[in-house]
Chains A and B, each alone.
Chain A
Amino acid sequence: MISYTKEGAKKNALVFILFIAPAFILFTLFVVTPVFQGAYYSLFNWKGAGPLDKEKFLGLDNFIKLFHDKYFLTAISNNIKIVIYSLCFQLPVAFIFALLIGRKSFTGSILFRSLYFFPYVLTEIIGGVIWKFIYNPQFGLLTQFSKFFTDAKNEIALLGNPDTAFGAIFLVIFWKYIGFHMILYIAGLQGVPRELEDAAVIDGANGMQVIWNVILPSMRNVITISVFLSVIGSFNVFDIVWAMGQGGPVHSTETLVTYLYNFGYKRFAFGYGSAVAIVIFFVCLVFNLLYQKFIVGDKDK
């Protein structure tokens, strides 16, 4: 197919174009164009119909309004909380699970791996619905348990209380994605040569020192990817929150994307919604660029 002679060069160009074209066209059509469209819409007070004329032009007012809206600030802070909780709790626990069940195969190790990985296979909506049942104040598992094991007669309504709803939802996110990161870490662990650990043990390192000095640095690539996916994922959380309370009660569990849906799409405020989308886009873009430059690119140093 590919010719390396001078005469073949023209033919090569055609081959390259034909191969690149489908991805290029689709990406432009469905990713690049909407970003620019969104950026454009975000400058207007637009309800989704009618022309985008001068009277509707707002400049950056949508953005200014956005950052003065307390629910938007709740949403951003919730997203940041999800990022922090994920990095501080979910990923370390996933790593511990991987250490426990991913290194030696023992009776039941496959069962454990499957059990932890199973939530990831479920659709987010299904996961959310399952947990909505568990949290249900009347017949939910949690209430039933507390009634069975204690004298308490009260119903437990975690999702109905603005103080507890976010925590309850984060627990579901934790449950849903921990298996995914665990599997990544198991794969990473299997790439750490046994000899390295042996060498460290002979050098006098104890278990924690082996993990800290040998295993973690050797898994740098896997951890880089896991952290990246976790952060990007945290900014895009929608389905679970939606299934469990649509950002309520009283917008206490709003995330950026549910906020977009509630305040943009649902109210036909497409200009405003686009402004939210642009903010999300920039958050992810900036994170991505910084991460690539300072973390991923640092690999060889």
Chain B
Amino acid sequence: MAEVRLKDIVKVYDGGVKAVDNVNIDIKDEEFVVLVGPSGCGKSTTLRMVAGLEDITDGELTIDGKRMNEEAPKDRDIAMVFQNYALYPHMSVRDNMAFGLKIRKYAKEEIESRVAEAAGILEIEELLDRKPKALSGGQRQRVAVGRAIVRKPKVFLFDEPLSNLDAKLRVQMRTEISALHTRLQATMIYVTHDQVEAMTMGDKIVVMKGGVIQQIGSPLSLYNEPINQFVASFIGSPAMNTVSAKVREEGGKIIVDEGGFVITAPADKEEGLRPYIGKDVLMGIRPEDVTVDANATQAAYIKGTIEVVEPLGDETILYISTADHQIVCKVEPTAMVKVGDELTLTPNVDKIKFFDIETEKSIFYRG
């Protein structure tokens, strides 16, 4: 039951390093917001400012309309799950989960029933009397989540909680945390550097880089309408191919020429590309927006040689070198291809993105 609002939030560290610059995020009640970006982008710092573990240099943080900048972490009604679990090593699982309630002087029966309830939700009842060191990584993370939910806080904060787990467990915990969100109907803020986690879990994703928010949106809007080249290549796996290409006009059509291959711009993009005639643009093609097609038309095709084939079973990833670039594409596993093959690919022209080479902004971004 909490709305969290970050308004013009700035964090400058003692040495003068600006870690977070003018961050504005509106988080609705019960929303699952993911802060994502490469390491050092300020996402964890932002989360720690919400938690109260870092001072806010400038700007205002409100939870349910109440200014929180000066409030101690304990008075913000938040709970946090840490990357390294941060379980108290000398306490049993039960005591770990009960600690926050004991400190807050809850009645004994209340503590017991809350711990039992949380343990039930997370299916860790049989672990309650163990010490953290007798648990596996996945179990520890469950306990850490349990410690957060017994408090029934307004806001849950997650700081890269899954990055220490192995791949399989990570996928499992991902769905469990999503399910937990549905069940608890609480506001959650989740920090990760993994775009897959962001895409699969978030109602809303905040992409950050260098302390600055790049784009805020739903997973699909970020995927379909990236605001700039950074977001375009950060969201999606394998990353979007971005190649520089020259724009020219030929017989009334706008042609984008990579050197090795040419794309004829679709009609709706002609107007936008016209100012770039004679100049370079960045062309973004998602690996999944390319099909192998021997009968490619002259309008749009990519020619290249296969350098690496990665058969993943459900799909095959090809690394193709064109005249000037390397292009990654995702094809059907049935495609009969091998290293060294010459290949003609047809890109889905409507899905190609164009970015200004100077500003790296999407030329056709419709916010």
Cβ-defined contact, A196 with B86, below 8 A: yes
Answer yes or no: A100 CB below 8 A from chain B CBs.
Answer: no
Answer yes or no: A297 CB below 8 A from chain B CBs.
Answer: no
Stretch from A12-20, A172-180, A198-206 contacting the other chain:
A198-206
Cβ-defined contact, B86 with A199, below 8 A: yes
Cβ-defined contact, A213 with B86, below 8 A: no
* Number of residue pairs A-B, CB distance < 8 angstroms: 61
Given A195-B82, A195-B83, A198-B53, CB of A203 within 8 Å of CB of B90:
no
Cβ-defined contact, A200 with B99, below 8 A: yes
Stretch from B73-81, B116-124, B198-206, B251-259 contacting the other chain:
B73-81
Q: Kindly state the separation between the CA atoms of A214 and B96 in the bound complex, as whole angstroms.
A: 11
Given A193-B84, A209-B103, A213-B99, CB of A202 within 8 Å of CB of B90:
no
Q: Kindly state the separation between the CA atoms of A29 and B25 in the bound complex, as whole angstroms.
A: 75
Interface size bracket, B side? 20 to 34
Q: Kindly state the separation between the CA atoms of A217 and B73 in the bound complex, as whole angstroms.
A: 23
Given A195-B82, A195-B86, A220-B90, CB of A202 within 8 Å of CB of B53:
yes
Cβ-defined contact, B88 with A198, below 8 A: no
Interface centre among A193, A202, A214 (most CB of B within 10 A): A202
Cβ-defined contact, A195 with B100, below 8 A: no
Cβ-defined contact, A217 with B90, below 8 A: yes
Residues of A in contact (CB 8 Å), total: 18
Answer yes or no: B89 CB below 8 A from chain A CBs.
Answer: yes
Q: Kindly state the separation between the CA atoms of A145 and B222 in the bound complex, as whole angstroms.
A: 74
Cβ-defined contact, B51 with A204, below 8 A: no
Q: In residues 24-66 of chain A, which contact B (Cβ within 8 Å)?
A: none
Q: Contact string, B81-105, partner A, CB cutoff 8 A, digits 1/0? A: 0111011111100000001100110
**Chain A neighbourhood of B103, CB < 8 A:** 203-205, 209
- Minimum C-beta distance from B205 to chain A (A): 24
Cβ-defined contact, B51 with A195, below 8 A: no
Q: Kindly state the separation between the CA atoms of A193 and B88 in the bound complex, as whole angstroms.
A: 10
Majority DSSP secondary structure for residues of A touching B: helix
Cβ-defined contact, A218 with B89, below 8 A: yes
Q: Kindly state the separation between the CA atoms of A220 and B131 in the bound complex, as whole angstroms.
A: 16
Q: In residues 157-208 of chain A, which contact B (Cβ within 8 Å)?
A: 193, 195-196, 198-206
- Minimum C-beta distance from A199 to chain B (A): 4
**Chain A neighbourhood of B83, CB < 8 A:** 195
Answer yes or no: B147 CB below 8 A from chain A CBs.
Answer: yes
Q: Kindly state the separation between the CA atoms of A209 and B52 in the bound complex, as whole angstroms.
A: 18
Cβ-defined contact, A201 with B74, below 8 A: yes
Cβ-defined contact, B99 with A202, below 8 A: no
Q: Kindly state the separation between the CA atoms of A193 and B132 in the bound complex, as whole angstroms.
A: 15
Cβ-defined contact, A202 with B74, below 8 A: yes
**Chain B neighbourhood of A203, CB < 8 A:** 74, 99-100, 103, 147, 151
Q: In residues 224-244 of chain A, which contact B (Cβ within 8 Å)?
A: none
Q: Contact string, B237-256, partner A, CB cutoff 8 A, digits 1/0? A: 00000000000000000000
- Minimum C-beta distance from B54 to chain A (A): 10
**Chain B neighbourhood of A218, CB < 8 A:** 89-90
- Minimum C-beta distance from A193 to chain B (A): 7
- Minimum C-beta distance from B80 to chain A (A): 5
Q: Which of A202, A205, A209 contacts B79 (CB 8 A)?
A: A202
Residues of A whose CB lies within 8 Å of any CB of B are 193, 195-196, 198-206, 209, 213-214, 217-218, 220
